[in-house]
Amino acid sequence: MQQSQVPKPDPKQSNDEPEIVIRVRGLRNQFGSHVVHDNLDLDVYKGDILGVVGGSGTGKSVLLRSIVGLITPAAGEVTVFGKTLSELSDKERDSVDRQMGVLFQQGALYSSLTVKENIAFPLIEQLGMSRPEAEDLALMKIFLVGLSAVAADRYPSELSGGMIKRAALARSLALDPAILFLDEPTAGLDPISAANFDELIMTLRDALGLTIFLVTHDMDTLYTACDKIAVLSDKKVLISAPIEEVKKVDNEWIQEYFNGPRGRAAYSSHQQEE
């Protein structure tokens, strides 16, 4: 069996090394008798866009939800900004949660609220802002993701798929998080909209200093936007490394995924763009 190539924890992290903002150790996720993850380790470094891939049923979204606290692992530790989540008080956990923005696959916008109201909602509820102040800030986030003032006053049902993704992204940025979690952000988008979204993600990472945890199956996104790829297999992270290193791993799924027809087409397109 292929050995996991995830870095082992270092007792001390020197100032010269990249900062680890998310550290997962010994994670076990289990639903009844079904074990999704077992003794899973993963490091996510500050400023990286990490693409998380794996076959069906490998628990990509489950891993995301475990890190953001929507699922309680059966075992193991999740550490964010050096704080072990299971050891935090409610107040400490709230402080960490505000540093994490999440965009789920379907956007998860409130259908009864306009785009601007959706983004203002966490500012009012969690920060206690007045409505006018929150809506002014919401408008800034809307512009940040490339939407117009006209879109701000529309309801989700009145938006295209690409606009919904951008609106949901704006809401995930409402509280100025340091880490952004994206669950299949380009799913359902046409190739042009998906490419534009990839460009937006990279621009926001650079402009805001974000770290991005990105669950995706989009080969173009992996080549274009991601600094490293984490591959889930056999209930663990098989490897977390730049894509060129990942492609060399002697693993049937990796070879079929990255070096099969779709993988070769994405690589060829990426080479032409460079």
Query: Could you tell me which residues come within 8 angstroms of residue 36 by beta carbon, excluding any fewer than 6 positions away?
Result: 29, 30, 57, 58, 59, 62, 235
> Looking at residues 59-86, what average pLDDT do you find?
95
**Six token digits for residue 41:** 């380790």
| pLDDT per residue as tens digits for the range 183-222 | 999 988 899 999 999 999 999 999 999 999 999 999 999 9
> Looking at residues 216-233, what average pLDDT do you find?
95
Q: How confident is the model at residue 12, as a pLDDT?
A: 46
Q: The whole model's pTM is what?
A: 0.89
Following DSSP, what letter does each residue of 190-230 receive, concatenated? -HHHHHHHHHHHHHHHHHHT-EEEEE---HHHHHHH-SEEE
> Looking at residues 243-251, what average pLDDT do you find?
94
Give the Å distances, CA to CA, from 37 to 83, 155, 233, 234, 241.
Answer: 22, 38, 9, 8, 20
**Six token digits for residue 141:** 């986030």
> Looking at residues 177-188, what average pLDDT do you find?
94
| pLDDT per residue as tens digits for the range 129-173 | 999 999 999 999 999 999 999 999 999 999 998 899 999 999 999
Q: How confident is the model at residue 28, as a pLDDT?
A: 97
> Looking at residues 47-56, what average pLDDT do you find?
96
**CA atoms of 141 and 225, how far apart (whole Å):** 21
pLDDT exceeds cutoff 70 at 5 = no
Q: Predicted confidence band at 274 (pLDDT cuts at 50, 70, 90)?
A: low
Q: How confident is the model at residue 1, as a pLDDT?
A: 47
Query: Of 76-90, 91-105, 181-195, 252-266, where does mean pLDDT reach its minimum?
Result: 252-266
Q: Predicted confidence band at 119 (pLDDT cuts at 50, 70, 90)?
A: very high
